[in-house]
Structure formats: structure tokens, C-alpha cells
Amino acid sequence: MVLYNAQTNKMLVDEIVDAHVLVIGSGGAGVRAAIEASRYGSVVMVSKTIAGKGGCTTMAEGGFNAVLREADSIEVHREDTLKGGAYLNDPALVDALVREAPERMADLVRWGAVFDVTDDRQVAQRPFGGQRFPRTCYAGDRTGHELIMTLLDRLDATDTQLYQEVSVVDLVKDEDGAVAGAIALDRDGSPVLFSADATVLATGGGTQVYDVSTNSAAGTGDGYAMGYRAGAELIDMEMVQFHPTGAIYPYDARGRLVTEAVRGEGGILLNARRERFMERYDPARMELSTRDVVARAIATEVLEGRGTARGGVYLDVTHLPAEKIESRLPVMLEQFLAYGVDIRREPMEVAPTAHHIMGGLRITPECRTSLKGLFACGEVAGGVHGANRLGGNALAETQVFGKRAGESAGKAPARSGKVDSAGVDGVLRVLDGFFEGAASPAAVRKDLKLTMWSQAGIFRTAPDLRTALGHIRRLADQRLCAASTANLLECCTVRNMCTTASLIVRCALLRPENRGAHVRRDATVITEPAASPFSHTYISLAREGIEQREAAA
């Protein structure tokens, strides 16, 4: 199939790839989806990085939550997840997560994953915040890396065709309005069209829209923006998790994740006066309270003048045996040593950092989005984590919903309609426009990130959010300039970042209450999470609003 513009008879793209299932994204969810989908037909996976090197799965340090012991139960994992999520989670999605996480963990072990094990040959588990049982499975503090390497081994045993360093820039539809694939740019900036019966969006998150973020460079929210432009509905985009402990030095590496495993293994938080301040915020759970609570506690200490000179607090493991630090937290030890801090002898300095977007494309438990032909899984999907994600539930989510999305997409019927060439033409025109733009993508990106951090961060107010939205819209209206064909992608990325940022801010304005990670300093409605009258915020090209709960839970 070669695609021509009917009016000009000009060939639109010079490379076209057909498959039964197209998977966009090569993180934990995408690779798991491709593995599953390959059981049903041909699969193409498109990765904007070298597979295994992109996204945030490979950076995930702490662990994978799964109920594996008699003393633990699926029911308790469900309750912990719902409570941690301030009861905003979609219960059906939580149900799938907690029920299937153990089976997905078993898949990984069967496929060769090197998780830590106990003396009696069971997968070892450590305590994580907000959970009543130590159910977080781990491979030292490089759990995500272990997971992705194992998945890539398994993927290699399938017939999946892999396109690496090829970046999807927009979804395309067929004449019936179903998602029919995607258009991408290769490393040189040449367009490639992928057409498929079913498309799985597994593009991960987007907290790179914030100035201080744990995300890899790939975490630019492309999936939210592409889904939105294609007409999909997103939910709860205001729910951005600020991880309590990000590094603050050196400045250019600010935000770098300091894993929750540090606290799981016994690390304590101290302010500049060396007070263990969590006593004042959550005396029962202390450092292992949920992330929203700990992040706000640290931010409050700093705002009220009890932070360090660099604007953080101390995270201290010097009371732990050096051997434990070396074996359980080797990546942390190595990273801090590289920056001149030996965490066996001196405390780390940390501050909150934008980590995870709980919101995303609205999905059913089968990972169907509101668009025909489009499935979503992993961080790009919303609803699993509600208003706050528990540490260790994201890796589990990638596997549970990656498999579900792959299976649903694999079972999808053949699509009959032709790819809508006007849509492709539209994308190509946008790309061409970047050659005539004037604004520097680097400058827009920097401005956007600072705006989001200062006006849509941990503590929010309506006036700030409105100011931010106005500014984001002005940034989005700037005509970005591509310095070369290879720079087209950068323009697309910055455009996606502007879109993702605006979705976050618009949803933040839609939710008048404080809930989980979303704190409105000007909240007029005081709600208890379990009894809140509000449910999801929703946003799409067609509509936006906040759902009212039929009956309080």
C-alpha cells in the first residue's frame, strides 16, 4: 500500500508498515503488550528510543507490588490501593491490578528475571509506603531495569518487528473514524506510516512538563497529547504525583529520583534542625506514609523555613549497616558517590519532584479507550491509581494492563476502512510548518517547565492555575522552528508538552476539592476522600467536566 494525496497525487510518505497490532512505546507496558499481542497476529512495536533505554520503566528502582504470601491478601492490596488513591481509583481497574499482579510477577520469574529471593526460595518483598504488608518485590534498587531486560528477552522470542528510534508524532484514523495506526518520524526526520487493525498506546508519562522531574527525557506526555488530538477522553489529569524525595544537587540533575526503597529500608527524614518532622504529619506511618503526604510535609518544612540552604530536607541512612546500603541500595550509593556524597556516612539532601501522572486516557478493564481501534496501558492510561499512586503499583500496572491491552488488541477484528489520507496530509502540513516557525523549541520548553513548577505544582490555587493556562496557551501558539529535518521531532515533542501541561491545568481547575496529590489552597469544598461527592475529571476535544458520585462510598 502506498498512500497518495488524492488531490495532488503526491506520495505522502515513502515508507509504510502494516501490521495487525501496532504498539507505540517500549517501556514495561508496551513490551508486555507486544509479547501478548504477538500470540494473535503480526505486531509492530515503535520505540522513540533504543528499546530498553527509553522511558521510565528502566529507571524504576524500588519494586513491584504483588500478593505472594499467605499472610497477605488480595483484599488488603485492593484496600491499600483504594485508600492510597483517595478512593478516586476506578474499582474495576484496581480489581484487575491486584488480582493479576501475582500472575504477571510469575511470568517474569518464568522468563528469567533476577529478583531478590529469600532463603526459602521465594521472591523477597520489602515494605513500601501506604501498604499494610511488605509486598513490594524487588531486584536491589534496579527493579525496573531487571523487568525491562527480562521482557526484551521474551520479546525477542516473538515475531514482533521492532522500529527503534522512530518516534510516533500522531495517530491516524480510517474513513470510519477508527484509529488505524500512526505516523512517525525516523531518526533523520523522514515520515513513516504505520497502519494496523488495533493500536496500543503505551507511551508512558509526562512529568517532564515540570522543571523538577524524575522522568527520563522521554517522559514528555506524547501519548496524552496524541490521544487528546485524536479525540480520546482523558480523566484525572490534575493528579500528578510529586515524589517526596528527589535529589537537589547538582542543579542540572535536580529531581533525579531517590527511591522510596531508601525509606523502605529504614531511611529517616530530618529537617535542617534535625527534627524527625514526619512525627507532626503522620505519626503512625512516619516516613512510610503515602507519597502525597510525605511530599507535602517536605514542601511545608521548606516553605516554613526549616529546610536546608539548598531548599530541601535530609534523608538519612547513616544508621543502617554499610553492607545493607551496599546490597539493597547500590544504585543510590553509586549515584550519590558520583556527586560527592557517601550516603553511608552523610545524609542525602532531597526535595519533592514531579514523578508520575495518575490521570490519562480513560480505559475499560480491557484497556479500550473511548476511541475505536485504540487501546492504552501503563502510565498513559488513567484510573488505576486514583488521586495518588502507591509505590510499587506502577510496575505491576505495566504488566497487568500491558498484557490486557495486548490481548484485547490481538483479538481485535481486522479493520476494513482505508487510512484517511486527509489526516495524514494534515500531520505532514504541521511538520512542514515547523520549517517556517521562528520560536526556539528549547526556549518554549524551558518556559513551560518553569510555569508548571511554579503555578501548577504541589500547592495550587485557581488564580495561579488560570495564569498558568493563559501562559501555556501563548506558548502553544508560538510557531516552533525546526533547525533541520532531524529537529522536527523536537518541535513535535514541545507541542505535546504544551498540550499535556494544558490538560493538567484545565483538570486542576475542574476539581474544587483537595484530593490525594491534588491540593487546592483555595478549596471551597471540604471533602473526606471516601465520602467525596466528586469522581473523575474528564477532558476531550468534545467536552470537559467533573463527574459527581452517585452515592458516597
Partner 1 sequence: MKTITLRVSRFDPAEDTEPHIEEYTVRVNEGARVLHVLHAIRDEHDPTLSYRYCCGSGQCGSCAVKVDGKPALACMAEARDGMTVEPLDLPVVKDLTVDMEPVIAKIARICPAADAGLPSRDEIAAIKPLRDCIECLCCVSACPALQVTEFAGPTVLRQEMRLALDPRDSGDRIGDAIKKGLFYCTTCKRCTEVCPKEIDIPGKAIEKLREVANRRGLTLPRHQEVARLIRETGRSVERTQPTFLEQVPEVIEPDGPVRGEVGFFVGCMFNGRVPQTALDAMEVLKRNGIRVLVPHDQVCCGSPLIRTGQTADVDDLKKRNIEAFARRGIRTVMTICAGCGATLKNDYDTPFEVKDVTEILTEYGIEPPAKLEITATYHDPCHLLRGQGIREQPRELLREAVREFVEMPSQCCGAGGGVRSGVPEEAKALGLMRDEAVKATGADVVVTVCPFCEFHIADCTDVPVKNLVTVLLEGYRKKDAERQGSA
**Shortest distance, position 257 Cβ to partner 1, whole Å:** 7
**Shortest distance, position 259 Cβ to partner 1, whole Å:** 11
Q: Check residue 42 and report its DSSP letter.
A: -
CB under 8 Å to 486, separation ≥6 — which residues? Answer: 187, 188, 189
**Shortest distance, position 311 Cβ to partner 1, whole Å:** 14
Distance between CA atoms of residues 182 and 18, nearest Å:
11
Phi and psi at residue 189, in whole multiples of 5°?
A: 90, 15
250: cis peptide before it, omega within 30°?
Answer: yes
| CB closer to partner 1, 139 vs 230 | 139
| Mutual angle of helices 143-156 and 91-110, in 10-degree steps | 70
| CB closer to partner 1, 73 vs 164 | 164
| CB closer to partner 1, 164 vs 318 | 164
Check 263, 356, 385, 389 and give the catalytic one.
Answer: 263
| CB closer to partner 1, 422 vs 483 | 483
**Known active-site residue 549:** no
Beta bridge partners of 183: 170, 193
Phi and psi at residue 192, in whole multiples of 5°?
A: -130, 135
How far from chain centre, in Å, is Cα 220?
A: 9
**Shortest distance, position 409 Cβ to partner 1, whole Å:** 24
Check 154, 243, 296, 495 and give the catalytic one.
Answer: 243
Where on the chain is the footprint of partner 1 (CB under 8 A)?
49-50, 52-55, 58-59, 109-112, 114-119, 121-123, 139-140, 142, 145-146, 149-150, 152-153, 156-157, 164, 187, 216-218, 249-253, 256-257, 330-331, 334-335, 338-339, 440-443, 446, 483-484, 486-487, 490
Q: Check residue 413 and report its DSSP letter.
A: P
| CB closer to partner 1, 139 vs 519 | 139
| CB closer to partner 1, 443 vs 541 | 443
Q: Check residue 43 and report its DSSP letter.
A: E
CB under 8 Å to 276, separation ≥6 — which residues? Answer: 268, 269, 270, 286
| CB closer to partner 1, 487 vs 527 | 487
**Shortest distance, position 121 Cβ to partner 1, whole Å:** 6
**Known active-site residue 243:** yes
Residue where the block lists cell 500512526: 182
Distance between CA atoms of residues 220 and 168, nearest Å:
13
| CB closer to partner 1, 331 vs 450 | 331
Residue where the block lists cell 525509606: 263
How many residues are given for the chain?
553
**Shortest distance, position 433 Cβ to partner 1, whole Å:** 17
Residue where the block lists cell 482505508: 418
| CB closer to partner 1, 190 vs 300 | 190
Distance between CA atoms of residues 365 and 345, nearest Å:
47
**Shortest distance, position 218 Cβ to partner 1, whole Å:** 6
Q: Is residue 25 within 8 Å of 202, Cβ to Cβ?
A: yes
Distance between CA atoms of residues 193 and 17, nearest Å:
6
CB under 8 Å to 414, separation ≥6 — which residues? Answer: 20, 197
Whole-angstrom CA distances from 263 to 143, 286, 325 are 16, 10, 12
**Shortest distance, position 326 Cβ to partner 1, whole Å:** 12
Distance between CA atoms of residues 440 and 480, nearest Å:
6
**Shortest distance, position 207 Cβ to partner 1, whole Å:** 13
Nearest to 117 by CA among 95, 146, 144, 137: 137
C-alpha cell at 491: 518541535
Beta-carbon count within 10 A of 111 CB? 14
List active site positions. 243, 263
